[in-house]
Amino acid sequence: MKILLVEDDERTAAFIIKGLRQAGYVVEHAPDGETGLSLAQTEEFATAVVDIMLPRLDGLSMVEGLRRNKVLTPVIFLSAKGTVDDRIKGLQSGGDDYLPKPFAFSELLARIQALMRRAAAITEPTSLSVADLSLDIVRRKVWRAGREIDLQAKEFALLEYLMRNRGRVVSKIMIIENVWDYSFDPQTNIVESRICKLRDKVDRGFERKLIHTLRGVGYKVE
């Protein structure tokens, strides 16, 4: 799973990144609020850890921007300000938790894991659909216009990921991290090859194409 860290203090960022990577997470680091906002709106993260006092765009404004744009990534605020009023402001701006500095890394990790469990329990659907394409997550079956499509395990996982992000462009790296669970680009055409096979099974014979390629950017289903 990938976590977004938005923290301008280099020592604090290095401390958190080291701990999260040792715990098995992929970490994307942004040193300011504008970069953090851009990353959170274009990539998928299990959780975001956001400092409030940030250059270019403060953490509260960053998260308010995410919520306005319907980005529901769980957010933990970090701040040297720990009064009740400060915590209320953080939660009212769209944050899900608030951890005052200084803090023990073990507590931050426990809070991150709790948010992930809560988000998974609330948002897990049992089926997905785009136009006349339907995917049953529980039964692991796919239909197009009422006709069942036979998919291999990775093809199913890839289609499920694309459909969960309906209308949103997902990059090759995002697919590799979420479908193959790699934290690096293996420098192969594995994604392109699977997309080609998936498109042949899902779109072939239909006038309306659902799987789209945006060259140099990524893929989307709509």
Tens digit of each residue's pLDDT (9 = 90 or more) over 45-71: 999 999 999 999 999 999 999 999 888
| Angle made by CA atoms 54, 60, 63, in degrees to the nearest 5 | 105
CA angle 81, 84, 86 (to 5 degrees): 40
- Averaged pLDDT for residues 203-214: 94
Q: Which two tokens stand for residue 38?
A: 């851009």
Whether residue 128 is predicted with pLDDT greater than 80 in this model: the reply is yes
CATH number corresponding to 127-221: 1.10.10.10
pLDDT (0 to 100) of residue 189: 87
- Euclidean distance between CA atoms 154 and 159, whole angstroms: 8
* Residue 55 neighbours by CB under 8 Å, 6+ apart: 8, 31, 32, 33
Return the minimum-mean-pLDDT range out of 57-71, 124-138, 146-160: 124-138
Model confidence pLDDT, tens digit, residues 87-124: 999 999 999 999 999 999 999 999 999 998 887 766 56
> What's the mean pLDDT when you consider all of the chain?
91
Q: What's residue 1's pLDDT? A: 82
Of the ranges 66-70, 81-85, 178-182, 189-193, which one carries the lowest mean pLDDT score?
178-182
Higher pLDDT, 32 or 177: 32
pLDDT at 172 over 70: yes
- Contact (Cβ atoms closer than 8 angstroms) between residue 57 and residue 31: no
**What is the DSSP secondary structure assignment for residue 170, as one 8-state letter?**
B
- Between CA 193 and CA 168 the distance in angstroms is 20
Sheet holding 26-30, edge to edge: 26-30, 2-6, 47-51, 75-79, 97-100
Topology of the domain covering 2-123 = Rossmann fold (3.40.50)
Q: 213 has which bridge partners? A: 219
Q: Is-same-fold flag (2-123; 127-221)?
A: no
Please state whether beta strands 133-136 and 127-130 pair in parallel, antiparallel, or not at all (unpaired): antiparallel
Per-residue model confidence (pLDDT) at position 70: 86
Query: Which residues share a beta bridge with 141?
Result: 136
Structural domain boundaries in the chain: 2-123, 127-221
Place of tokens 């055409």: 189
Tokens, residue 105: 């890394």
